[in-house]
Amino acid sequence: MRIVAKSLKTKLSGRTVLHGIDIEVAPGSVVGLLGPNGAGKSTLLRALAGQISSEGVVGLGERSLASLSLAERGRLIAYLPQERTIGWPLSVEKLVGLGRLPWRAFGKGLSAGDIAFCRAAMEEMDVAHLADRPATELSGGEQARVLAARAIAQDTPVLLADEPASGLDPAHQMTMMAALRRLAAGKRRAVLVSLHDLTLAARWCDRIVMLKDGAVAAEGTPAETMTAETLRAVFGITAWIDRDDCGLVLAPTGLAGTP
Amino acid sequence: MVRAVDRCGFGPRRRPARFAALLFTLLAAPAAAESTLPRVMSLNVCTDQLVLALAEPGQILSLSALADDPDLSFHSAIAAAYPKNRGLAEEVFLARPDIVVTGTYSLHNTTQLLRHIGTRVETFDYAQTLESVPGAVRRMGAILGREARAETIAEAYEAELAALSSPPAADAAAAIIYEQNGVVLGSGTLADSVLKAAGFRNLAAERGYEGMVPYPLELLVRDRPDLVLLASPFPGAPSLADQLVEHPAIASLKSLRRKGIAPRGSWSCAGPFTLEAVRALKALREEMAAGGEG
Amino acid sequence: MNALRLSGLLILLVLMLFIGSLLIGPAALDPIAGMKGLFAGGEEAAIIIMREVRLPRALLGLIVGFSLGIAGAALQGFLRNPLAEPGLIGVSATASLGAVAIFYSGLAGSSMLALPAGALAGALVAVLIILAIAAGNTTTLTLILAGVALSSLSGALTSLALNLSPNPFASYEIIFWLLGSMKDRSMVHVWLSLPLMAAGWALILASSRALDALTFGEATAASLGTNLPRARLSIVCGVALAVGAGTAVTGAIGFIGLVVPHLIRPLTDRMPSSLLMPSGLGGAALLLAADIAARIVVPSRELNVGVLTALIGAPFFLWLVARTRREAI
């Protein structure tokens, strides 16, 4: 299912944060959302998830976000916020199982199908071996993966993830991105993910959207967007850009304007 | 009718509410008696009753604020003519009485303070019964310099009590006074002596309850006394204490009466007027016996 | 522990304590005569003692305890805070204030309906204030301090209202409203409070999915299809009904909603919804047990049950605070 936003405008406590954003995530693709702190990445994700009110249109396939009930949204869009809140010492398995809430009738427990989804999601995020551990006792990175597994278990056509890779070790950063790619490719999901790691974005995303000051600064494939000029314009940095067999390699080398 | 004597009773302590009257406490001392009788200030509603019964009007500097409450003060009508105090040491300093009379129990700190600065304070015992009345009358008479009047009143009282009193037989009707919050009046209380003088057994005293104490509702239901005297609810201002008497378990008891069958204020302090309460209860007992109720 | 087995054990415990509560009393009825009086009839005194004195008391222990337990579990789940409790955050005290303000002013005559009406209003105000303060992410400290402030203010205003009453007995009733009691209540009190409490339980149970989803915080909960404004309304009204109606007839009884969910949580899968019913049952068991103790600890002199729950609960609370501090939640 395609998620499309047209001239999306959002105000937060009177200040305009998004100035008319156009963005589209096609089914089967992973779109990376880049931009400096305060550019509006999280706000855009929240607006697309319907968590904050905004002007403009958000379309989900044939329908508009505004026309959907909360329960329907829960079955169409999974949202993984940046804050990693785990309120109670639930076991990892129970926690991931809560991802199935939108699909469960009131008062019903998890069906065999639900449990299978949760198993698969835990395998994807490499947390199946932690299934019986209280989630609150895990390390920060493990908790991030458990929460991502929860979002994956929600099994929605659209997945919006806010910095899911931050705080993960390099191997698990790649595990995370690989899982998102598999979701997109294998199940035709539309995945929009905000990232700070330029190389990770360049190598694992099909397309890149760069935000600056609440507007789209660049949009296209990684090769089109991750250029010295855009990095200087959007992030104010210089970077060493190279390419290997699998894609781009980027390393920030200095602040633009400094010698 | 015989006039008042002795001290503080068992009724609930009421809040001094009549502030307007108090404002004039300091100003309106009646013209001092030309005689040499001591001028008195009473800080307690029960000593008020004795003072009102015995003193020359000119002797009385002020009475306690509760003296105006007809539920506590039998002589409230006469008391209305005098200034009232709130029992504060400051009021005593300003009024400069020759004697202060009060209860042993109430306003204990004030009593200490007054004695410390050299005021003559006479305290009257908290525990009172019908039998303690003549002694208290004579003592108050001596304090006020009104021995002759006190003797007349005390003798008349003793004679009348002897004539009226009909101690209960072993199989007499059992009564209980069940007040707010389930508090009963057990042995040693004025009400106990009134019940007995009227020919009732006091169930609470027989069960070993002394003074004003809570009595379990269950025991009241189990013992099913021949007469239950309930306190009257305070008018206009509800309390949970007053609601207890509405409990369905109490409603199931036989012979429920309000304490108000005796004249108002007649048995909240002990005094010669308490014989009015004995008379009323005795009449009730005879009526119950006649009606086959007891 | 298996959820069904846990509930079964708790029901058994509640049943035993309920029967125990029925069999204890100064009238020393023998158990057989008592049960006969309750169900079959027999001697009139036994019937009245069982049906009008002991039954309402035991029933109130059951339903008020259930309300406090389930309300505590719901508040903890909703605020994601293990120290949230109707008493600690000031709901009980404010419910008392509401009941006192309406009842003693005589505005409603001496009608008993004034009590639940006032208590519900008070409880509602308190829950709204606490949720307003706790909006977003509150620390435990903010929540507890707000509760302390609210409780102190309500306690002071309750004392003031009782002192201003011209009825000489009103001021003695401060202790009832601050440290509740179930002494000499009647079936009238049960019928007055039960429908309101039951409505509160239903509202709380209806929010069980939202409570589970809120494990992840509000943003994720909303993305899981939770209607947060509706869940908030349900919890607010549910807690206000359950705690308010209970406080109206027994005064403020503290700490049940704190202690019980803590004892029960390790026996469940720790899902907030799995905690609701067992906490209700545990609350009923604890209050029934405390009320039995209140009657037998000091022979011939009955204690306020709120004194006992505070004696158990306050040290428990201190221990929790110390532990929470160590874990730096």
| Closest chain C CA to residue A79 | C223
Is residue B6's pLDDT more than 80? Answer: no
| CATH label of the domain that carries residue C99 | 1.10.3470.10
Whether C216 sits inside 8 A of A150 (CB atoms) is yes
Instruction: Report the distance separating Cα A31 and Cα A2, nearest Å.
Output: 12
Confidence of residue B292 (pLDDT cuts 50, 70, 90): low
Tokens of C296: 């037998």
Whether A85 sits inside 8 A of C227 (CB atoms) is no
**Percent of chain C scored above 70 by pLDDT?**
96
**A8: exposed, middle or buried (Cβ count in 10 Å: 0-12, 13-18, 19+):** buried
Is residue A128's pLDDT more than 60? Answer: yes
A156-160, B41-45, B107-111: range with lowest mean pLDDT: B107-111
Q: Could you tell me how many CB contacts below 8 A there are between chain A and chain C?
A: 83
Mean pLDDT of chain A: 93
Nearest to C27 among B219, B237, B244 (CB): B219
pLDDT at A86: 92
Using an 8 Å CB-CB cutoff, list residues of chain A that contact chain C. Answer: 46, 49, 51, 70-75, 77-81, 83, 85-91, 94-95, 98-99, 101-102, 106, 134, 147, 150, 154
In chain B the domains, ranked by start, together with CATH numbers, are: 19-161 (3.40.50.1980), 174-290 (3.40.50.1980)
C316 and A CB contact within 8 Å = no
Instruction: Say how many domains are in chain A.
Output: 1
Q: How far apart are the CA of C49 and the nearest CA of chain B, in angstroms?
A: 6
Is residue B237's pLDDT more than 90? Answer: no
Is residue B105's pLDDT more than 80? Answer: no
Q: Which residues in chain A have their CB less than 8 angstroms from residue C222's CB?
A: 51, 70
Q: What is the pLDDT averaged over residues C80-84?
A: 86
Q: Looking at per-residue confidence, does A244 or C136 come out higher?
A: A244
Q: What is the pLDDT averaged over residues A157-176?
A: 94
The residue range of the domain holding A39 is 3-255
| Closest chain C CA to residue B14 | C168
Whether C226 sits inside 8 A of A70 (CB atoms) is yes
pLDDT at C147: 87
C11 within some domain = no
Whether pTM exceeds 0.90: no
**Percent of chain C scored above 90 by pLDDT?**
62
pLDDT tens string C301-315: 888 999 999 999 999
Confidence of residue C320 (pLDDT cuts 50, 70, 90): confident
C7 within some domain = no
Whether C169 sits inside 8 A of B180 (CB atoms) is yes
pLDDT tens string C243-297: 999 999 999 999 999 999 999 999 999 999 999 999 999 999 999 999 999 999 8
Q: What is the pLDDT averaged over residues A168-194?
A: 94
Mark whether A and B touch (3+ CB pairs within 8 Å): no
Instruction: Report the distance separating Cα B233 and Cα B236, nearest Å.
Output: 9
C10 within some domain = no
pLDDT at C55: 96
C140 and B CB contact within 8 Å = no
Nearest Cα residue to B132 out of B78, B194, B71, B75:
B194
| CATH label of the domain that carries residue A251 | 3.40.50.300
Q: What is the pLDDT averaged over residues C72-101?
A: 91
Q: What is the pLDDT averaged over residues A107-135?
A: 92
pLDDT tens string B28-67: 444 444 468 999 999 999 999 999 999 999 999 999 999 9
B283 and C CB contact within 8 Å = no
| Kind plus residue range of the DSSP H or E element containing A231 | helix A228-235
C89 contacts C100 by C-beta, under 8 angstroms = no
Q: How far apart are the CA of B166 and the nearest CA of chain C, in angstroms?
A: 31
Residues 298-317 of chain C with CB under 8 A from chain B are 302
pLDDT at C162: 92
Whether C110 sits inside 8 A of B248 (CB atoms) is no
**Alpha helices per DSSP H over chain B:** 19-23, 45-54, 76-79, 89-95, 108-116, 133-144, 147-164, 190-197, 203-206, 217-223, 240-243, 248-251, 274-290
Whether A99 sits inside 8 A of C224 (CB atoms) is yes
Amino acid (1-letter code) at residue C46: A
pLDDT at C145: 85
Nearest to B221 among C45, C106, C188 (CB): C45
Q: Which residues in chain B have their CB less than 8 angstroms from residue C294's CB?
A: none
Is residue B182's pLDDT more than 60? Answer: yes
Most confident region among B145-154, B243-252, C97-106 by mean pLDDT = B145-154
pLDDT at C133: 83
C173 and B CB contact within 8 Å = yes
Is residue B117's pLDDT more than 90? Answer: no
C42 within some domain = no
Confidence of residue B201 (pLDDT cuts 50, 70, 90): very high
Whether C220 sits inside 8 A of A89 (CB atoms) is no
pLDDT tens string C169-183: 888 888 899 899 999
Is residue B19's pLDDT more than 70? Answer: no
C272 and A CB contact within 8 Å = yes
The ipTM estimated for the assembled molecules is 0.92
Whether B249 sits inside 8 A of C52 (CB atoms) is yes
Instruction: Report the distance separating Cα A249 and Cα B139, nearest Å.
Output: 111
The residue range of the domain holding C261 is 59-327
Instruction: Say how many domains are in chain C.
Output: 1
Nearest Cα residue to B195 out of B259, B250, B273:
B259
Tokens of A242: 């190279």
